[in-house]
Every structure is written in C-alpha cells, then in structure tokens.
C-alpha cells in the first residue's frame, strides 16, 4: 500500500481512493505528474483537520491556564526534570490508564503543569476535561437533583483524560466521596486521571474521610500512578511566556 492510498484511507476519502487505484491500474504515465501535488494537498488537509479537532477539544476542556509543556519550568529546585516532561508528553500514561498525582505548595506550578499536559493530550486528539474539585462535587450534587447524574458520570468515564484540580482543600462530604470512588472505578486501568493538590499524599486518606471508602479510593489512585512533588518558590512572581502555537482556550 503506497503513501497516497494510506492518506486517502486515513482521511476517509474512499471514493477518491477507489478512483486513484483505478487510475494506477491503467498504467497511464500522465497520472504520475499530479501525484506529488495531490499528496501535498492531502497532507495539508490532514493537518487542518488535526488542528481543528485540537482547537475544539481545548475549548471543551475549559483549562484554567493557557499552558504548554514547552514553557513548564523545570530544574532540581522544582524537583521536576525535562526528561519527565518529555516522557509524559508522549501520552503513554494515558494509554496505560494511569493516575498522575501532582502535589506541592501554593504557586509551585501544579495547575500549570496539569493544564499543559491536558493541552498536549488535546493536540494528540484525546478527549480531555479540566475540573476544579469543589465545583465538580457541586455539579454532581445538582445533577442528582436534576436526574442527570448518570449522564454526567458516563461523560467522565468516556474521557481519555480528566484533570481534577484543587483536590483536598476541605474534607469530602459522604456523597462526594462516593462520586469520586465511582469516577475512579469506571476509569481505573482504562483512562488517565490527573489529581492536583496542595496537600501531601500522606494526608489524602484523612481528607477523604470515612476510612472504608478512603481505602478504596486510595487503592485506585496509588496502585497505578506516577507522582510529581513540585517544590520551590511561587512562580506567580515570575512571568512565564505563552506558547504562540497553542490553540485558544
């Protein structure tokens, strides 16, 4: 199978693909002249579709920050190296359905890193959602009253990546714990979840509250995860340049 056939198939241009294969079968030498131009046009169309999908995914994700992995601050003082960022940029952790747990003090860049990873996932065509935890728990509580809770849970379970920011600002209510467990249960091993928190990991069990449910949640979070503990001074004191190649949010 040649490159043009692959391009036409990937773009779902089946009519053009059949016509092209018939032209090739005729052996007409005049068809060769236009193949290079056709390949360039198909490449441009593929890039256009990819960018259009990425823009739509970013808009739907509703990220907190307009962030890119290229502008993430790394270094020993941050406890974050470029190799880790490069590895996460491949999206392998998403394919493996892992949890990524990002902790650190206020201003350390936790949410920025999470949003940058989310933007990268959108670039790769992956359905991504960003939520502030407090707002998500309220949203799910209201959904129960409107009888749309199951629909909300299905939406969350089908996303390739969800980012839950500001986790653990306060102790979870019983209904929020159960919703959190349900979300993790549906996604475990199948889709990735990024959790962002100011609280160190050894405090999460207490924040979750009721020990039995907390055990179940922690088991799902910690059994297939990667941990990033950011350090250093607040980055809000510094100006981080935006990546002009990012789609708008």
- The answer as to CATH 3.40.50.300 being correct for domain 62-237 is yes
Q: Count of CB atoms within 10 A of residue 6's CB?
A: 12
> 3-state class of 236 per DSSP?
helix
Q: What is the structure's pLDDT at 244?
A: 46
Q: Count of CB atoms within 10 A of residue 196's CB?
A: 27
> 3-state class of 22 per DSSP?
helix
- CA-to-CA dists, residue 3 to 6, 42, 124, 129, 195, angstroms: 5, 10, 21, 35, 41
Give the separation between CA 230 and CA 107, rounded to whole angstroms: 10
Q: Count of CB atoms within 10 A of residue 160's CB?
A: 21
Q: What is the structure's pLDDT at 237?
A: 64
pLDDT over 70 (residue 241): no
Please say whether the beta carbons of 77 and 122 come within 8 A. Answer: no
Q: What is the structure's pLDDT at 28?
A: 63
Please say whether the beta carbons of 230 and 104 come within 8 A. Answer: yes
Percent of the chain's residues with pLDDT above 70? 90
* Global confidence as pTM: 0.81
pLDDT tens digits along 12-65: 888 877 777 777 777 666 666 667 777 788 888 778 888 788 889 999 999 999
Q: What share of the chain is helix, strand, coil (3-state, %, to 5)?
A: 60, 10, 30
Q: What is the structure's pLDDT at 31?
A: 63
Choice between 238 and 129, residue whose per-residue pLDDT is larger? 129
Q: Average pLDDT of the chain?
A: 88
pLDDT classification of 180: cutoffs 50, 70, 90: very high
pLDDT over 70 (residue 242): no
CA 67, chain centre distance (Å): 12
Neighbouring residues of 211: CB distance < 8 A, sequence distance ≥ 6: 205
E strand intervals along 73-117: 99-103
pLDDT over 60 (residue 78): yes
Q: Count of CB atoms within 10 A of residue 166's CB?
A: 19
pLDDT classification of 239: cutoffs 50, 70, 90: low
Q: What is the structure's pLDDT at 30?
A: 61
pLDDT over 80 (residue 247): no
Neighbouring residues of 122: CB distance < 8 A, sequence distance ≥ 6: 54, 57, 58, 61, 128, 247
Give the separation between CA 116 and CA 80, rounded to whole angstroms: 14
Average pLDDT, integer, range 66-92: 93
Domain with CATH 3.40.50.300 in the chain: 62-237
């Amino acid at each position: 199978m040649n490159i043009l056939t692959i391009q036409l198939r990937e773009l779902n241009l089946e009519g053009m693909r059949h016509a092209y294969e018939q032209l090739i079968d005729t052996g007409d030498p005049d068809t060769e002249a236009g193949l290079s131009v056709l390949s360039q046009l198909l490449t441009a169309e593929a890039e256009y579709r990819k960018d259009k999908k990425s823009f739509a995914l970013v808009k739907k994700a509703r990220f907190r920050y307009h962030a890119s992995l290229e502008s993430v601050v790394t270094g020993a003082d941050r406890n974050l190296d470029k190799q880790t960022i490069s590895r996460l940029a491949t999206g392998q952790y998403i394919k493996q359905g892992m949890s990524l747990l990002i902790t650190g003090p206020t201003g350390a860049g936790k949410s920025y890193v999470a949003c940058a990873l989310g933007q990268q996932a959108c670039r790769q065509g992956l359905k991504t959602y960003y939520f502030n935890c407090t707002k998500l728990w309220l949203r799910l509580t209201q959904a129960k009253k409107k009888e749309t809770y199951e629909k909300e849970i299905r939406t969350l379970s089908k996303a390739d990546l969800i980012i839950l920011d500001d986790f653990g600002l306060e102790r979870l209510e019983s209904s929020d714990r159960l919703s959190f467990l349900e979300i993790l249960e549906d996604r475990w091993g199948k889709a990735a979840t990024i959790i962002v928190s100011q609280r160190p990991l050894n405090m999460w069990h207490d924040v979750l509250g009721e020990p039995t449910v907390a055990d179940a949640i922690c088991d799902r979070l910690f059994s297939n995860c990667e941990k990033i503990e950011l350090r250093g001074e607040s980055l809000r004191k510094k100006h981080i340049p935006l990546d002009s190649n990012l789609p708008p949010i």
